[in-house]
A and B are shown apart, each in its own frame.
Chain A
Amino acid sequence: MTIADGVKAAALLFVATIAQVSIFSQVHVFGGVPQLVLVTLVSVALLRGAVVGALAGFFAGLVVDTATLGQLGLTSLVLTVSGYWIGRYGETTGRERGHAPFLSVAVVTFLYAFGILLVTFMLGERAPAGPEMRSLLPTIAMNLILTAPTYALVRVLLRPRERADYATEVQLLG
């Protein structure tokens, strides 16, 4: 990960975050809302690994919470874990697989919703699971629609790493 890559990733996530809170959050389709930040984070984490994924998640969460004057740290916490987990998947079994971004986005959308629900519940605030679960399928569908163009754009800006850069503990053959 070079400094230029870091700047590009930060700029991408910043733009995605501003677009999310100002534009995408108004788009409601069957109760679901497209999550450009999550899709961009997944793309960055898949291409750059767990450490960058965690840092990117933390940064994106901080910007979201600051822009919306929300509870600082809430989104950062969930996005940090999401970015780390997707980064690990990208470093190991997910690399060079066409379905990896789509699978990651679908799984992370579910885990992100569940994570926000869990942390909100643990803070003692109202966290009804029903509406969240009802809006989950439309949200996953919209995130999957966003995945292909977003991943392609991120891939252009952050070129995939060389084989030698990947983790070597786990290697899937065949």
Chain B
Amino acid sequence: MVRRVVLAVLVIVALALLTISFRSPTSGVLHDAQSYGSDVLRPFQVAAVRVARPFRDGYDYLDSLATAKSRNAKLEKMVRDYRSQALLNASAVQQNNDLKRLLRFESGPSYPQDFRAVNTSVLSFPSGTFTEQIVIDAGTSSGIHVNTPIVSADGLVGKVTNAGHSTSVVMLLTDPDSAVPARDLKTHVSGLIRHGQGGTLILDRVSKDQVVNKGDWIITRGTVDRRFPDEYPYGIPIGRVVAVGTSDIASFLTVQVQPLANIDSLDAVAALVPKHPRAKP
């Protein structure tokens, strides 16, 4: 009898918590309590991450040794290509700045100069198969709020979906609910970056008459219409096109994109907080 009473009470309490939490997931008394609870647990999580880091680094080191030679040759070729491209880009940037000045061109905040990077570590990786999220060690006290873009040294990682006082939940690009307006840097074709198979992404909603080439860079599109500001500023690198396909029955191209950020192995990320709070991306 006692067993059943205990079980019934615990189930009712869990259901009550679930109901309240479901109705107001990002605000309210319960969210605040959960946020403070998360603050209390944070030192333990940081300690656990630090304890595990040497083992992870060791594994990553051994893993990278196996592919070091072929990777080195590939990187050397990339450096040669980028060096020549960088010279052309520097000239184009100078010309762009001159033309903007001549035209008195006005624009919203641009990445990265109008954003302050809040560098932070990754605390945990919720392992549910329905969602791809991480918890980072920074929250509203650092200026982070819901929809703040999160990047790594390589490119876009995702955006904040729930901000606590000193921790935040980040929905990764590979989450099935993630959709990021993006464009092809070379051909200017726009689409939506969504999750794809096997940790890749797809550039969705690209009609068949448009051109996307293998190897093209995909970046965030930014705000197109000031009435509907985008959550991501223009120009954050997302990934590189690895395959473009089409079929007779599909309305859109199938553009497969390899993310630049190593989403499976994130140690540290940066939250992009606007330098001027009133500015919108």
- The yes or no answer to B269 lying at the interface (CB within 8 A) is no
Q: Known: A25-B125, A66-B38, A69-B167. Contact between A18 and B14, CB under 8 A?
A: no
Closest CB in chain B relative to A98 CB, distance in Å? 25
- The yes or no answer to A7 lying at the interface (CB within 8 A) is no
Q: Give the number of residues in B that approach A within 8 Å (Cβ atoms).
A: 49
| Residue interface mask B120-144, A partner, CB < 8 A = 1 | 0001111111100101000000000
Q: Give the number of residues in A that approach B within 8 Å (Cβ atoms).
A: 49
B18 pairs with A73, CB closer than 8 A: yes
The closest CB in chain B to the CB of A21 belongs to B124
Residue with the greatest number of chain B CB neighbours at <10 A, chosen from A24, A68, A80: A68
- The yes or no answer to B112 lying at the interface (CB within 8 A) is no
B126 pairs with A21, CB closer than 8 A: yes
The closest CB in chain B to the CB of A124 belongs to B22
Closest CB in chain B relative to A138 CB, distance in Å? 11
- The yes or no answer to A22 lying at the interface (CB within 8 A) is yes
Give bound CA distance, A25 to B123, whole Å: 11
Chain B neighbourhood of A31, CB < 8 A: 129
Segment 122-157 of A: residues with Cβ below 8 Å from B:
123, 125-128, 131-132, 135
Give bound CA distance, A25 to B16, whole Å: 27
B41 pairs with A69, CB closer than 8 A: no
B15 pairs with A72, CB closer than 8 A: no
Chain A neighbourhood of B126, CB < 8 A: 21, 25, 68, 70
Segment 16-61 of A: residues with Cβ below 8 Å from B:
18-26, 28, 31, 33, 35, 50-51, 54-55, 57-58, 61
Q: Known: A65-B34, A66-B41, A72-B18. Contact between A84 and B130, CB under 8 A?
A: no
A73 pairs with B16, CB closer than 8 A: yes
Closest CB in chain B relative to A130 CB, distance in Å? 9
Give bound CA distance, A126 to B125, whole Å: 19
A67 pairs with B124, CB closer than 8 A: yes
Chain A neighbourhood of B265, CB < 8 A: 26
Task: Mark the stretch among B43-51, B100-108, B251-259, B270-278 that contacts chain A.
Answer: B43-51
Give bound CA distance, A127 to B18, whole Å: 17
Closest CB in chain B relative to A167 CB, distance in Å? 9
A54 pairs with B6, CB closer than 8 A: yes
Give bound CA distance, A58 to B44, whole Å: 20
- The yes or no answer to A71 lying at the interface (CB within 8 A) is yes
- The yes or no answer to B11 lying at the interface (CB within 8 A) is yes
B41 pairs with A18, CB closer than 8 A: yes
- The yes or no answer to B37 lying at the interface (CB within 8 A) is yes
Closest CB in chain B relative to A169 CB, distance in Å? 11
Chain A neighbourhood of B38, CB < 8 A: 66-67, 69
Which of B11, B25, B51, B176 is close to A77, meaning CB atoms less than 8 Å apart?
B11
- The yes or no answer to B264 lying at the interface (CB within 8 A) is yes
Give bound CA distance, A119 to B21, whole Å: 14
A67 pairs with B128, CB closer than 8 A: no
Q: Known: A26-B125, A33-B127, A125-B130. Contact between A51 and B15, CB under 8 A?
A: no
Tell me the A residues contacting B by CB distance below 8 Å: 14, 18-26, 28, 31, 33, 35, 50-51, 54-55, 57-58, 61, 63, 65-74, 76-77, 80-81, 84, 88, 116, 119-120, 123, 125-128, 131-132, 135
4 closest residue pairs by CB, A with B: A73-B17, A73-B18, A25-B127, A22-B48
16 pairs, CB–CB < 8 Å, chain A vs chain B: A23-B51, A25-B125, A25-B127, A33-B127, A51-B6, A58-B10, A67-B41, A71-B22, A72-B30, A73-B13, A73-B21, A76-B14, A77-B11, A81-B11, A128-B130, A135-B129
